[in-house]
Amino acid sequence: MIHPIEYRYGRKEVKEIFDEEKRLDYMLKVECAVVKAHYKAGNIRDKSIVDEVEKKANTKFVKLSRVKQIENEINHDVMAVVKGLSEVCEGDAEKYIHLGITSNDTIDTANALQFADFIKFLESDLLNLRSVLTKQAEKNKQLVCIGRTHGQHAIPTTYGMKFAIYAMEIQRHIERLNECKKRLLVGKISGAVGTYAALGENGNEIEKAVMDELNLNPAEISNQVIQRDRYAEFFSHLALIAKTLEKIAIEIRNLQRTEIDEVGEHFEKGKQVGSSTMPQKRNPIIGERICGIGRIIVGNAIASLDNIPLWHERDLTNSSAERIIIPEICILSDYILNLAINLIKNLEFKYENIDRNLNLTNGLIMSEAVMINLTKKGLGRQEAHELVRECAMKVYESNNKINFKDVLLSDEKIRKFLSDDEIRQALNPKNYIGIAVKKVDEICEILKNK
C-alpha cells in the first residue's frame, strides 16, 4: 500500500464506491443499459440477447482480474471491459455490446453513477454536521464569551452565535449541492464526437432509454465527453465545504491555545498520547488534520479546472488527472466532514477560562457599551467616543494595572452623565450581547424546518 487513503484516511463504505471492482460494476451497468436501449429501439429483435447480457454484466461473471489481464495485452481500459463482457456472453450477444458508442459514453456515464452513490453519503454528512452545529448553537446561545476581531478582544458575543453562523454556512452548502446535482448527474450516449452518427436517427431515443434505465439525465449536448465544467463545479463545491471546515477547525484550534484555552478537542483519558516527548501535550490533532487534508481537496479542485479546456472535441489530458482527482477528493471530503462532526459533537468547554478571558482587559471590552450609554444621555457620538477612548488609553498606559471601571468612576466628564450603577451595568459583558440569543433562536428554528 502506498497512498494513505488505502490504510489511514477515509471510511470503508465510501472507499468501496471508488475501488476497482465497483468501478468495473458501474461500467458494466452502462454497457448493459445500452444493449437494452438497442432492444427498445428495435435494433435487437431477440430478447434472449438482452437477457444474456443482463445476466452476465456484473463482476460475478466479468472478473476484474481478467479485465486487467486483457488491458495489459491491448493497452485500452474500456475495450478490456468490452472484451471481458463479450467473452462471457453466449450466442450472438457479444455482437451488440458497445454498439454505436465510444469509450467516454461508458466512462462518463459510469462517473455519474459513481457520483450519485457518493452524494448519498455527502448529503448525509452535511445534514449530520448541520444538526450537531445547530444543537451546539441552541445549547450555548447564552454562553457569553469575548468576540475577537483582528485577533484582538472586541466586544462580547456568545458561543451560540459562533455555531449558528457555521450551521447556516453548512445549510448553504446543502443548497449548493442540490443545485449542482442536476448538472453533475448526467450521462451521454452520443458516440465519438457527440453527433450520434453510429447510433442513427434514433440516437436521442437510445440515449434517453439508457439514462432512464440508470436514473440519470442525458447531457443536453456533448462532444466525445461530458463537458468538464460540470465536474469542476462539483469539485469546487467540495473545496468550499473543505474551507468551511478549515474555518471551524482553525477557530477551535485557536481557542484551544494554552493562552486562551476556552474549548478543546475531546481527549481520551488514560489512552491518548499528545506527544512522543512532551507528556503534558493535548494537541488539536483532529482540527489540524481537517486543515491539512482540506489543502489536498482544494488542490484537486484547482486541477479539475484545468480539465475544462480540452483540445477540439476532446483530448486525454483529463483522464489521468481524474483517475486521481475523483476518488481522492470524494473520499477525503467525506472523511473530514465526519471528523468535523465528531469534533464538534464532543467539544469540551472550559467555562472558567471563558469567563476569565471576558475580564482579561479589566473592562476595556465594554468601551463601546459605555460610549453608547453616554449617547443615550445626550452626549454626541464623536464626543462620547473621544471621552471613552481617553479613559481606555489610561488603562493601556498603566499596562493594565488599573481597572477601566475605576478610571471611569474617577472621570468628572463621564460622571456628569453616568451614575456609579449605570457604569457598573455598562461594564457587565452579559448585558451587552444585543439580540444574539434571539438571532440564534431564529436560526435554529429555520434549520429545524429545513
CA separation, residue 313 to residues 41, 109, 158, 189, 204 (Å): 27, 17, 55, 15, 19
Q: Tell me how far apart the terminal alpha carbons of the chain are, to the nearest angstrom.
A: 42
The grid coordinates listed for 422 are: 449605570
**29, 59 in Cβ contact below 8 A?**
no
Go through the chain and tell me how many residues it has: 450
Backbone angles phi, psi at 140, to 5 degrees: -110, 25
CB within 8 A of 103, min separation 6: which ones?
A: 76, 78, 79
Strand partners, 186: 217
**Residue 162: closest CA among 350, 436, 365:** 436
Which residues, including other chains, have CB under 8 Å from residue 99's CB and lie 6 or more apart? 34, 35, 38, 43, 198
Catalytic-residue membership of 150: yes
- DSSP symbol at 441: H
**H or E element at residue 147:** strand 144-149
CA distance 99 to 113: 20
Rg (CA), the chain: 30
Query: How many CB atoms are closer than 10 A to CB 253?
Result: 21
Whether 419 sits among the annotated catalytic residues: the reply is: no
The residues near 291 (Cβ < 8 Å, ≥ 6 apart) are 246, 249, 250, 253
Do the Cβ atoms of 11 and 338 come closer than 8 Å?
A: yes
Q: Which one from 48, 124, 275, 398 is the annotated catalytic residue?
A: 275
- Which candidate in 65, 150, 312, 320 is catalytic? 150
Cell of 398: 498603566
360: its cell numbers: 482579561
The answer to whether the CB of 337 falls within 8 A of the CB of 245 is yes
Instruction: Give the helix/strand (H/E) hosting 399.
Output: none
User: Measured over all CA atoms, what is the biggest interatomic distance in the chain, rounded to whole angstroms?
Assistant: 104
What string of DSSP letters covers 196-248? Answer: -TTT-TTHHHHHHHHHHHHT-EE-SS-SSS--THHHHHHHHHHHHHHHHHHHH
Give the residue numbers annotated as catalytic, written as ranges.
Answer: 150, 275
